[in-house]
Amino acid sequence: MQWLAVALGGGLGAMLRFALSQWVVRRFPVGTLVVNVLGCFLIGLLISLAVKTKWPGPTMQCFLIGGFLGSLTTFSTFAYQTFELTAEESLSWGMLNLFSNLILGLGLVWLGIATGETIAAALETSS
């Protein structure tokens, strides 16, 4: 069942990534940045909730984390686009893409974890 959950989540994540990757603003790959930082926030949130509340369960974790987020986010596209920006635009554009993904990604993992902990604490006090 977990294999099927990963496959279904992966299909949905890949379709969303494809749709968002078409979003390019002034030669800067905004779509890739959006999917990567969104994925960073969501993985922090989901793992935090899984640790604190036991939700989502193992099969849903496979669907959401291994499948959906695994195919939504894209390191290889990010690496290629950074290389392309550096080669075709300038080192500055390449570095902007690199640091935007890293700084925003790490910041949003932290924010996702903090949000998950806040939600878990609220659920605990309400029960």
Residue 82 marked as a ligand binder: no
Give every CB contact of residue 53 below 8 A, 6+ residues apart in sequence: 119, 120, 123, 124
Q: Using the 8-state DSSP alphabet, how is residue 65 labeled?
A: I
Instruction: Please count the other Cβ atoms lying within 10 Å of the Cβ belonging to residue 18.
Output: 12
Instruction: Please count the other Cβ atoms lying within 10 Å of the Cβ belonging to residue 75.
Output: 10
Beta bridge partners of 28: 25
Residue 53 marked as a ligand binder: no
Q: Are the C-beta atoms of 39 and 77 separated by less than 8 Å? A: no
User: In whole angstroms, how far apart are CA 35 and each of 48, 60, 71, 116?
Assistant: 20, 20, 10, 19
Binding-site annotation: residue ranges for Na(+): 70, 73
Binding-site annotation: residue ranges: 70, 73
